[in-house]
Amino acid sequence: LRAAEYDTTGIKCPDLVLPHLMPKAKYYKNAIGYIPCDRENESVAKALEYAYDDWCISIFAEAMNDFENKAKYERFAKAYEFYFDKSTRFMRGLDSNGEWRTPFNPRASTHRSDDYCEGTAWQWTWFVPHDVEGLVKLMGGEEAFVEKLDSLFTVDSSLDGETTSADISGLIGQYAHGNEPSHHVIHLYNYVNRPWRTQELVDSVYRSQYANNVDGLSGNEDCGQMSAWYILNSMGFYQVCPGKPVYSIGRPAFDKAVINLPSEKTFSIVVKNNSKSNKYIESVLLNGKALDTPFFGHQDIVAGGIMEIKMTDHPTQWGSNNSSQ
């Protein structure tokens, strides 16, 4: 139910009624175009997730040949742009007057009572999985994006606040591997022609965030996501945007992995020269043909076949001349 489409016939004060018919965040999003941070907690996190959700609806509409709703929800999926402050290059809360919430501290956290959910501006700024290219443009282009992304992993890991969220865990800089909103971020380097950074950071996470102990996970295993990240990445890839049938190639952990498929087909990932020091990709073959991009499709897995990944001990230019997926 969208406020703009609600039948207000006979209702003299729809603005008083509509908030009771849907979550407040959705009401504000639909009625005024954004979620004011002085009216709703976690406004930025909710808005960014709504933008992704709307993109998913657009994909569903396209599959149903409903191109009117496809176009409409594609527009809604761009709503993340409202919350990006170009002066700080962070996603920030906007108040009822359309002003940025001040003062602003990207390391500040007040659990469930600030503009972000179980995170800070550092973690949530990257949550645009459905439009990475658009986020790159917002940040000022590829070089500016890489500079900001690099800083995520190198800045001070401290958090500010008296009731910081315990869910912000597994910190590498301000990258929080212990919680779901960050899990796609390492693979964003593949979209800006720096796949070697994805490879070395995935390797770093293997070694620092997982252990074969009772406390071997660095964060809350919500819905199995901590393990899901490890399982997919250990095979050599990860899905940045659920809903897009595209996988981003990272750093495989095993010498061989086999995915069993219907009709007795298989998709195998065979890794050559794999070792602790050989964490970078030298080349990739997909069914015997050179794959020069760090992306491949779900249909490649479903069809069955073999991916051969050759590793080396130094960064290479493999996959560094690609278009965003």
Each residue's pLDDT tens digit, 215-236: 999 998 988 999 999 999 999 9
Tens digits of residue pLDDT in 160-201? 999 999 999 999 999 999 999 999 999 999 999 999 999 999
Torsion, Cα 204 210 213 217, to 10 degrees, reads 140
Tens digits of residue pLDDT in 151-167? 999 999 999 999 999 99
How much is the average pLDDT of 1-5?
47
What does the pLDDT read at residue 23? 72
Question: Considering the domain boundaries, does residue 98 fall inside one?
Answer: no
How much is the average pLDDT of 235-251?
98
What does the pLDDT read at residue 26? 77
What does the pLDDT read at residue 54? 95
Structure confidence at residue 6 as a pLDDT band (50, 70, 90): very low
CA–CA separation, 28 vs 46, rounded Å?
Answer: 11
Question: Considering the domain boundaries, does residue 259 fall inside one?
Answer: yes
Given a contact cutoff of 8 angstroms between Cβ atoms, the answer to whether 281 and 309 are in contact is yes
What does the pLDDT read at residue 31? 79
How much is the average pLDDT of 256-274?
98
Which domain does 269 fall in, by range?
Answer: 255-325
Q: What is the CATH number of the domain that holds 269?
A: 3.30.2080.10
CA–CA separation, 144 vs 140, rounded Å?
Answer: 6
Question: How far are the Cα atoms of 132, 186, 234, 249, 253 from residue 149, in angstroms, in the given order?
Answer: 12, 9, 23, 18, 24
Question: Considering the domain boundaries, does residue 108 fall inside one?
Answer: no
How much is the average pLDDT of 40-53?
96
Mean pLDDT, the chain, integer: 93
Look at the alpha carbons of 212, 149, 126, 120 in this order and tell me if their dihedral is positive or negative.
Answer: positive
pTM of the predicted protein model: 0.92
Question: Considering the domain boundaries, does residue 205 fall inside one?
Answer: no
Question: Considering the domain boundaries, does residue 193 fall inside one?
Answer: no
CA–CA separation, 260 vs 266, rounded Å?
Answer: 5
How much is the average pLDDT of 309-317?
98
Tens digits of residue pLDDT in 13-41? 445 555 555 577 877 887 789 999 999 99
How much is the average pLDDT of 277-282?
99
Question: Considering the domain boundaries, does residue 323 fall inside one?
Answer: yes
The pLDDT of residue 131 is above 70: yes
What is the tally of structural domains in the chain?
1
